[in-house]
Structure 1
Amino acid sequence: MASSLYSNAQHVDFESVLGMDDHDMVSMFEALMASGLRGFLGCPVVVYEDALVDLFENASVSNGVIISTVGGQLVEISEELFAESFELSVDGLGDLSEMPKDAIFDARSIVSLSGEPISLSGRKNQMKMPFRLLCDIMANAISVKAGSFNAITVEKFSLITVVVCRIKMNWAKLLFSILKNMVSAGSKQAKGFAIQISLLLATFPSLELGESSEFPASKVLTKKTVLRFVSINDRDGAEEVTGAAKKKAVSKKRHAAYDDLVKQWRQSVQWSLRVTLMKT
């Protein structure tokens, strides 16, 4: 089974989510489309599990082109083919390290729940709800990195900044470089892009891809799944606040108990000194 190749995947049904009543959430998805990712995140959902396993097991990179065999047939995927297939922009920043610092500074305030610039070493619950979801989309569908999805990282926030501040990004170069890392031996890059790779393989007429597999509906963002995301995050946020309050109360009790012990110790020491003085 190749389900592990999309265990953390996230796909978007733009027609569904743009029909939501939540204006802020709709605005976030509109910004995501404007960034040039609609063709990549909203492409037709199809997965060929056996072909995916074949491609990753046999793939290598030569002269910037991904070369593999699927069902015994040669497959070559270039950056140009990748860009054309998903209508990805080829202009703009080619690397997240080129992100302007002033844009990141602005984005830290734009996405903030409190209005204060968020910490880039904090957690996503510092953000307004639409941007928490955007953080998940960037972590799952774009950067495809393992780890805590609640934690904010510089990489994830740079991707969020692209969308929030309308930064022109060379998505073709960035996404294809991630794909090349996926197939490179010894790379720690997680496997992903299951839907996109499946669609690319379907364009090769000589390939026998076998039966397509059903992509989990829970991993496609629709009105229903977005509302579920909001509900879960609201609940988790409330539990976190409650937990923090309990920890604070416990801490106060511990401080009070400690203060009592110190007070008793001081009284004991003072009494001992008095007894000693009386004897002398």
Structure 2
Amino acid sequence: MASALINNTIQVYFASVLEMEHEGMVSMFEALLASGLSGFLGCSSAIYEAALVEFFQIASVRDGMFVSKVQGKPVTISKELFAGTFELSLEGLTDMHEVPHDLVSEARRAFSYHGKMLSTSCKKREMEFEFRLLNDILAKSVIVKAGSFDAMTHERFLMMSAIYGGVPINWGRLLFNIFKDMVTPAMRQARVYAMQICVVLKNSPDLELRESKEFPPLKILTAKIVGTYISKNRNIYVDEDEPVVVEKPAEKKKAVSKKRPAPTVGTPAVKRKRTIGKAAQEAIPIQMISAVTTPAPKRKTPKRRLTLPAGSDDEIVDKEPAVESVVEQQREKTNVDDVDNIIGQIITETTQMETDMEEPSLTRSDGIIVEITKRSIS
């Protein structure tokens, strides 16, 4: 658990960072030092892991004070004790919304990497390097609320504006309230301040703390570590603060023949319907005429002149003889067997025509079978 308490904590070695050659960084650390946070952020102490775990297990808030037990002995931390240990101011702003608006407007441009007006809720990468680092210090070691460290919150931007403009802040009250929220139910406050708690416990006369371990040196900001921080930010920073995405060259794909393989023996050929016109229109089957023998045109029976018997009063007229008369006359000139043969031949040809018209199909030279549908003949 103790490791989680110092997982994101940052401490500042002010004597080192104030000797840097980076003018912006030096100016930011000077403002942080002038705000009254040097004792809180610059304290040094060993980490007493067992004492920290025991301290948070039964911690609570009573009458505005932080109450717990370590090694069976009660530990009470008041606001005055907490502020006095780290020389925190008890005067100044307690609500960040009271930061002057003109100062916030000035900070919105001063913090910007591109010189444009920033939003008070923006991305950390949109700011100058020194203010990105200030955001990290406040997010991980002061406000320590659950959430992303890369996203600038409105509250944190106002606090940075107050530090930048030299506005007095009541750090004693503000930080002690955050300290109490760590053990208050339903609060999204992370349990941190490990270094500060160890300092308070170490100064308690009735406690004998057990084994300790050193605070990780890489979590203490020195001139060297801050220089590395700047270099890393410069390497990943590009135009419009967007990372460069290097795309891998596309691999050459082998050319795939689009030619359809010829159907093998025994594999039924896939029938396809040909369409004409636009693709959105319905497919219209090709109308084909079967190559059948067209029957010979029928001969018209020549008109005959009928002669009435002599003595008839009716006149002679030209008219189309009735079918019965034609058949009778034909039978008179033709044998009955010949007539039956002609009728049989006509029936055979008619049957063949109907068979050929029943949805024939054509096979093209490339093996595709085109379906041909029969259209009724009016």
Range class of TM-score, shorter chain? 0.7 to 0.9
The alpha carbon displacement at 1:242 in A equals 4.2
Q: Which residue does 2:232 correspond to in 1?
A: 232
Q: Which residue does 2:106 correspond to in 1?
A: 106
Which amino acid is 1:75 matched to? V
The alpha carbon displacement at 1:99 in A equals 2.6
Q: Which residue does 2:336 correspond to in 1?
A: none
- Note the 1:145-160 alignment, pairs <5 A: 145-160=145-160
The structure with more radius of gyration: 2
Please, what is the CA RMSD of the aligned residues?
2.1
Q: Structure 1 residues 34, 106: CA separation in 2 closer, same or farther (over 3 Å shift)?
A: same
Q: Which residue does 1:193 correspond to in 2?
A: 193
Q: Which residue does 1:241 correspond to in 2?
A: 242
- Is 1:144 matched with 2:144? yes
Q: Deviations over 1:94-148 (max 9, x none)?
A: 1223333332222111111111121223211111111110010010110112322
Cα distance in 2 between the residues matched to 1:127 and 1:244: 21
Q: Which residue does 1:75 correspond to in 2?
A: 75
Q: Which residue does 1:170 correspond to in 2?
A: 170
Which amino acid is 1:225 matched to? I
The alpha carbon displacement at 1:238 in A equals 3.5
The alpha carbon displacement at 1:43 in A equals 1.3
Please identify runs of 4+ aligned residues in structure 1 that moved more than 3 A: 242-246
User: Do the aligned partners of 1:59 and 1:184 also contact (CA within 8 Å) in 2?
Assistant: no
Cα distance in 1 between the residues matched to 2:155 and 2:67: 28
TM-score (norm 1): 0.84
Cα distance in 2 between the residues matched to 1:82 and 1:189: 18
Which amino acid is 2:242 matched to? V
Cα distance in 1 between the residues matched to 2:132 and 2:36: 20
Q: Which residue does 2:135 correspond to in 1?
A: 135
Q: Which residue does 2:124 correspond to in 1?
A: 124
Which amino acid is 1:108 matched to? R
Name the SS of the counterpart of 1:87 in structure 2. coil
TM-score (norm 2): 0.63
Cα distance in 1 between the residues matched to 2:121 and 2:86: 33
User: Do the aligned partners of 2:121 and 2:153 also contact (CA within 8 Å) in 1?
Assistant: yes
- Note the 1:1-280 alignment, pairs <5 A: 1-238=1-238, 241-243=242-244, 272=278
Q: Deviations over 1:135-187 (max 9, x none)?
A: 10010110112322111111211221121111110000000000000122342
Name the SS of the counterpart of 1:202 in structure 2. helix
Cα distance in 2 between the residues matched to 1:128 and 1:198: 34
Q: Which residue does 2:267 correspond to in 1?
A: none
User: Do the aligned partners of 1:17 and 1:221 also contact (CA within 8 Å) in 2?
Assistant: yes
Cα distance in 1 between the residues matched to 2:246 and 2:109: 26
Cα distance in 2 between the residues matched to 1:12 and 1:244: 34
Which amino acid is 2:201 matched to? L
Name the SS of the counterpart of 2:69 in structure 1. strand
Q: Deviations over 1:238-265 (max 9, x none)?
A: 395344798xxxxxxxxxxxxxxxxxxx
Which amino acid is 1:124 matched to? K
The alpha carbon displacement at 1:206 in A equals 1.0
> Which range moved further: 211-220 or 32-41?
211-220
User: Do the aligned partners of 1:48 and 1:198 also contact (CA within 8 Å) in 2?
Assistant: yes
Name the SS of the counterpart of 2:75 in structure 1. strand
Q: Deviations over 1:16-48 (max 9, x none)?
A: 111111121111101100011111111123221
Q: Which runs of 5+ in 2 are unaligned?
A: 248-276, 282-378
Percent sequence identity is 46
Name the SS of the counterpart of 1:174 in structure 2. helix
Cα distance in 2 between the residues matched to 1:76 and 1:96: 28
Cα distance in 2 between the residues matched to 1:94 and 1:102: 19
Q: Which residue does 2:269 correspond to in 1?
A: none
Name the SS of the counterpart of 1:183 in structure 2. coil
Cα distance in 2 between the residues matched to 1:85 and 1:15: 20
The alpha carbon displacement at 1:225 in A equals 1.1
User: Do the aligned partners of 1:35 and 1:166 also contact (CA within 8 Å) in 2?
Assistant: yes
The alpha carbon displacement at 1:52 in A equals 1.1
Q: Which one has the bigger helix percentage?
A: 1
User: Do the aligned partners of 2:46 and 2:215 also contact (CA within 8 Å) in 1?
Assistant: yes
Q: Which residue does 1:252 correspond to in 2?
A: none
Q: Which runs of 5+ in 1 are unaligned?
A: 247-270, 276-280
Name the SS of the counterpart of 2:149 in structure 1. coil
Cα distance in 2 between the residues matched to 1:188 and 1:241: 31
Higher RCO, 1 vs 2 (CA within 8 Å, ≥6 residues apart) = 1
The alpha carbon displacement at 1:191 in A equals 0.9
Q: Which residue does 1:251 correspond to in 2?
A: none
User: Do the aligned partners of 1:92 and 1:169 also contact (CA within 8 Å) in 2?
Assistant: yes
